Every structure is written in C-alpha cells, then in structure tokens.
Amino acid sequence: MKYLLIACLLISATHLIATETILLDFESATVPASVSSWVNYSKTGTSASTWAAPNPGPDAINGTTGCYKIVKSGQDPYWTGLEVTLSNSVSITSANQYLHILVYKNTNSRIAITYTPESGSQSSDAWQANSTTGAWIDYMLAIPVGTRLKTFSIKIADGADDYYFDQILLSSVATTASPITIAIDPLIKGPVVEGWGASLCWWANVMGGFSDVKVKTICDWITDPAKGLNMNIFRFNIGGGDAPDHNHMRSDGGNMPGYKASAAADYDWAQDAKQRKILQQLIASRIEKAGVNDIQLIGFSNSPPYWMTVSGCSAGSVEGNVCNLKPDMFDDFADYLTEVTRHYHDDLGITFNYIEPFNEPDANWWKAFGGQEGCYFSDVQQMTMIRELYQKLEGKNMLSYCQINANDANNLDNGLNALNAYSSAGDIVSRLGLVSAHSYGGNNRVGLANWAKNNNKKLWQSESGPLYVGTTYESQVMIVADRIITDLRVLKCTGWCDWQLGGGGDLSNSWAQIVSNYDDNLNPIARNTNYYLRAQFSRFIKAGYTIIESSANNSLAAISPDEKELVLVISNSKLYVQNYSVDLSKFSGFGKVVQFRTRAQESLGVKNSEDRFNITGNTFNYDAQPESVATFIIPINQGTSASELKDNSGDMYFSGSTLYTNFTEVGSISVAIYNVAGQLVETKNRVPGQGTCQFSLKDGIYLIHTNVGAKKITKRAVVSN
C-alpha cells in the first residue's frame, strides 16, 4: 500500500517526535481506499458526496477547498455517516495507533468513530460530544496495537447540517495539535478574589433534613480550605412561601417555606429549619476548618409571600412577564425581607452582608403554578423595590452590616441593561453595595466589567451551571469549568457562585457536586467528578489572591497576597491531548511544583492525580489530557521581606490595629483585610475616606484591599499592637 508520511511533528523539547501516516487527504483524487456514505441507519441511499471532484468546504483547511461533504437533512433517522475501506489493511503498532479525523460542523452534534479489522467484527460506537462549532475539530480514536485495520466509519448524530471531513491519518500520539505557550505576567493584574460559593436553594431544603453527621460531613466538604471546596460565599434563600392549598412546586426542595403565613400573622421563626441547619453548620465548619469566619452571605428572594402576589401563587404571575407583587405591597415586601434579615442578625448572630430583593427578575418564565418560586420585575419596578428596601434598611439602622445587592439577572447582557437603567435614574447606584448577574448566557462581559469599574462597585457572578449546554456529563462539566475561567478573566468578577451544590440522583448529576438519593435519607452521600473539577479552582485560588495575566484563554493565573505562591489552572475541553509550554520568565526562584488534575471521565476523584516536579530554567511543559482541568501550585521568590512591608505612611496604613485613611476624593470606602494565607480576616463598609477605623487584628502581616473610584488599591501592612 502506498502511504504519505509526515515526520517531525515536534510536541515539545521533552517529548518524542510524532510520525503520521495520512490515509485520506481529499485534495487528491488518488488515495488507496474506497469511500462511501449513507443517509440512514440501514446504509441505503446514494453517496452524499462526490470525492473525485473536490467538494467546497467552509475553510481551506489544506490551502484548497477540497474536503468530503455530507448533508444531513432533518428527516434523516438518527445518524448518517462516512465509511472508508482501505485497499490494503494497515498493521497498527505503537507508532500509528491513533486514528485522527478532522470534522467541521456548525451544530452541537455528536460524532462516533468505529473500526473493523481485516478479520473480525466492528468495534462499538465511540460517541464523542463536542460543543465547538464553526471550526475544524480533531476527533481521535485509539486502535489496539496488533489490529490490522481494514475499515473505519464516522457517524453523525443529532443536528441536521452540512458536515465536512478532511485529513484522516494515523499518528503515534493522541494529539495532532501544535504546542501552545502560556506566558504569565504578574504586572498585569485583574481582580482580587473574594471567594467561591453557591446558593443554598434548593438542595439545603432537602439535605438539611439529613442526620447531623451527614450534614457536618457535607458542610466540611464544602468549606474545608485544605481538603474541600474552600467555599465562603453563600446565597441564603428568604422564601416567600406558597399558598397552603397549592401542590405544584418541584420535589427536590423547591417548596421553600415562608416566615409569615398572612398579612395578619406573626412571624414564625421555626420555619425553614432545614436550610437554616445547613447554614449554621457551614459557618461552624468554616470556623473549624479555616480558623476564621470569613463567610459572606446574601439573603435573596425568589418571590414575595403568596399573599402579597397578584396571582396568589409564589411561582409567578399568570402572564410570566408581569410583576406578581401587588402595587401596594412593595413597602410590605421590603419590610418582610428586612425583618427576616434582622432576626438572623439579632437573634441568631448570623449576618447577611447583602440582601437581594429579586432573582432573575428579567425572566418571563415565572408563571403561576410553576415548579419554583419566581417573580418578574421590570427595570422601573426593580428600582422602586430598591428604594423601598433601602428606606427600610436605613430606618431600622441595618445599613452598617447589610447592603443591597442587585440585580441577579438571568444573563449578563440583561444584567448590564438593568444597571444602565439604574445609572440613568440617578439615585439607585449609590444604594447598592454589590452588583451581580448570572452567566448562564449573554456575551457582554467586558461591558459589565467596565460598568462595575466605572461605578466603583464589586461584581459577583452569583449563579451559573450547565443550563442548555452540552449533551453529555463530561461536556457539561467542562463547559462550566471553561465558563469559570472566562468569567474571572473577562467579567473580572471577585466572587463566583454555583446554583446547586447538592443534588439528588447518581454521580452523573452535572448540576451538583455532592449527590444523594433524595428519596432515601439512609443512602450514602458522595462527591462526583464535578466536585473535584470545582476544587481545581476554589481550593487553590483563595480569597485574597489576585488574578494576573495568562496568555491562553483557557488558562487562569493568580498570585497570593504575599506574592510567594503562583497558581495556574489549565482547562482542556478538547477530546485530544494538548501540549502546553508555560513561560515563567517574569518570575524567579521556583520551589517544587505541585500539580493536581481531574479528568471529566474519571469519577469520584479516584483518578484525581497529584504530581510534584522541579522547574528547570523558567519554563515547563505539560500534556493536558482530554476533558481535564489541571492546577499547578508554584512557589516563587516574588515577595518582599517583612521589614519592607511596614509602611506607616501614605493614604492608607495601620498603627496598631487602627487603620488611618487619607483619600480626599471619596467620603467612605469598603475595606477588606486578608492574611498572608489569602484568608479574609475582616471587612468593614463605610470606612471614612479621611479618618480612622478600628480593626480587631492580631500581630502579623496583612493585605489591605479597597477601591477608590475606579482605582483598586492593595497595600501590605504589618500590625504590631
């Protein structure tokens, strides 16, 4: 058989040179193989493409427009495909065991590759999901060494569209991708991370009913900075409560209790015991495991109590895109939210740092008798609610510990539109202590980041998950991993939150990180792969760490407050191995690197790997496995000595535990104090722009963070009482 050989695909300086054998290249009409295609499962019908006259493709993948095209129509049953039978069989060895096929598609469809040996039966379908569209994708199948390859097939499922195929080859390596360089620059700084977290609604309304031992284990898994998710931001749902004669809420905790059964009823503080149990244990576990209570809480509402609504149902209005809060009840609803918040603060010692009067108010699907609480608010109605809520907080002397958060839009673009409306109103932005949006959808991350910067507001991504993305568990969890990177790189949020932490069902629940059978409280709780993928970020990029520049869009770099630890996360959502060369030329004095890796296809973290290695020079290479996230902990000699840190002068400094400020351009600032381990130690809002403020700090080295206008200020300080 005649082969075309390509030698010298250099993977990296420390890797072997790969050899490739091209089986089919559709720029040529002379290839030792027969090619056919079919339009339905039974392989009947005519060829979907004429190879002898090269077909036009969407790109010039090889410098011409020659490729193989299959048109999959909407009426095609299940899958269509391409079959290649070689004129002579090929012996598969370690030098050619990986079959690669380039596919161009515009839909989120699945591709399967099968092979048939010269004597034997066809292999099982190896379906591969890839959400990438509008680009050439390298699909790979490993063929067992010793096989004599005679026939292989490519099957297309799901989306009706035009599909293109090119460059079918055998290779000695699992990837044909060129190495990618990631250059890290500590001088280009992004946001200072405040933390990671999730909503407690609805999973806590179920898991809070588990045994005390299980509840503690779950909360330890979530808050432990060394062995868990290291989460410290939680959204506590202030339930409205539905009409007692209704029975339509979802069964996985969606029927959230309210605290007030009617306008004339007293508050019933015994309600919502399950969610409250989880919250209290989260705080206790964080203090036990981290040695500090750095938890930040948002009390958020999905809906007013049913008796305040127009429809009489806390799931929404009849129309969906009409506000369900009665026009004369805005002040009553503000009173309800602040009374619950005040009760938790005064009677239980639990402070909600922020209160959010609505959740996804832009959505038009909050309809009566739906499966969860929800309420639509127009931009004007949102502003009315914010004014009423601020008035209640001010009147009850609560602004010293609780500020307003808005607006938790369902997607980033709608969030920005609402914030622009707030700006135009003139009196709303000053009433906000935090702005937030959900990154399920929307693309204008830059616009939202600029709005927050220009208005001197903290910005959190307060809810996300695999909504309407991916077709497999692996693709869904990798899409969310990539979204985390994009949100911190481009949106520049300082807090990132999941929607659900716990969930029912088995380990394939891609919304949850901790799963259990909700129908049987005796079933064991377990952590799935999603848990370990999340830990690749949250356990190592700690509160107080600063995001810094890394040149690859699928990477995220952060540096510790004392600048002695660099963290690099690399996500490879591709279905093949990708080599990276990490450029650390702007750092010096490296210690031994610790690497952690989780693959989406590996369950329970059993194959979650840990490796240690030394850096020679100022670069290192890494082969990222398919659908995996890797985190590198790199000790660096970047910080300054303690004697250089002490600077009791300038616009912000400590004398003992007293902070002195001298910012003439603002009346007040918010200050966050971190220790050198990156843990948030203390925060204060409304610190005088010029004056003093007393903190409760032990002797040690700290990082002071604040924003003055659009300027972010970070200063090291030594406290010596």
Does residue 242 share a domain with residue 160?
no
The two structure tokens encoding residue 108: 């989120």
Does residue 157 share a domain with residue 202?
no
- DSSP, residue by residue, 629-655: EEEEEEE-S----HHHH----TTEEEE
- Of 628, 629, 632, 622, which Cα lies nearest the Cα of 579? 622
Does residue 278 share a domain with residue 262?
yes
- Decide if 406 is inside a domain: yes
- Decide if 183 is inside a domain: no
Does residue 256 share a domain with residue 137?
no
Does residue 694 share a domain with residue 578?
no
The pTM of the full predicted model, rounded to 2 decimals, is 0.73
Give me the phi and psi of 131, to 5 degrees please.
-80, -5
Does residue 211 share a domain with residue 289?
yes
* CA separation for the pair 106, 164 (Å, rounded): 10
> Which tens digits make up the pLDDT trace of 95-121?
888 898 888 777 777 788 889 899 888
Among the candidates 617, 635, 653, a domain finishes at 635
The structural domain count of the chain equals 4
| CATH assignment of the domain containing 695 | 2.60.40.3080
Q: Contact at 8 Å (CB) between 409 and 362?
A: yes
What are the residues facing 154 on neighbouring strands?
A: 82, 113
How sure is the predictor about 135, in pLDDT bands with cuts at 50, 70 and 90?
Answer: low
3-class secondary-structure state, position 254: coil
- Of 429, 571, 423, 434, which Cα lies nearest the Cα of 489? 571
How sure is the predictor about 13, in pLDDT bands with cuts at 50, 70 and 90?
Answer: very low
Mean pLDDT in residue range 305-309: 99
What pLDDT was estimated at residue 131?
64
> Which tens digits make up the pLDDT trace of 552-589?
999 999 999 999 999 999 999 886 678 899 999 999 88
- Decide if 552 is inside a domain: no
Does residue 391 share a domain with residue 526?
yes
Among the candidates 504, 539, 574, a domain finishes at 539
| CATH assignment of the domain containing 409 | 3.20.20.80
Does residue 202 share a domain with residue 97?
no
3-class secondary-structure state, position 337: helix
- Decide if 187 is inside a domain: no
- Decide if 554 is inside a domain: no
- Decide if 48 is inside a domain: yes
- Decide if 626 is inside a domain: yes
Does residue 148 share a domain with residue 210?
no
- DSSP, residue by residue, 453-493: HHTT-EEEEEE---TT--SSHHHHHHHHHHHHHHIIIII--
The two structure tokens encoding residue 65: 């427009």
22: amino acid identity, one letter: I
| CATH assignment of the domain containing 142 | 2.60.120.430
- Could you give the C-alpha distances from 506 to 513, 522, 528, in angstroms and in order? 11, 14, 9
Does residue 434 share a domain with residue 321?
yes
Does residue 705 share a domain with residue 649?
yes
Containing domain of residue 424, as a range?
A: 194-539
- Of 295, 285, 380, 301, which Cα lies nearest the Cα of 338? 301
Does residue 207 share a domain with residue 94?
no
- Decide if 551 is inside a domain: no
* CA separation for the pair 477, 527 (Å, rounded): 14
| CATH assignment of the domain containing 585 | 2.60.40.1180
pLDDT at 593 > cutoff 50: yes
Among the candidates 124, 144, 176, a domain finishes at 176
3-class secondary-structure state, position 143: coil
* CA separation for the pair 287, 295 (Å, rounded): 9
3-class secondary-structure state, position 213: helix
Mean pLDDT in residue range 441-462: 97
> Which tens digits make up the pLDDT trace of 58-83?
333 333 356 777 777 665 556 777 78
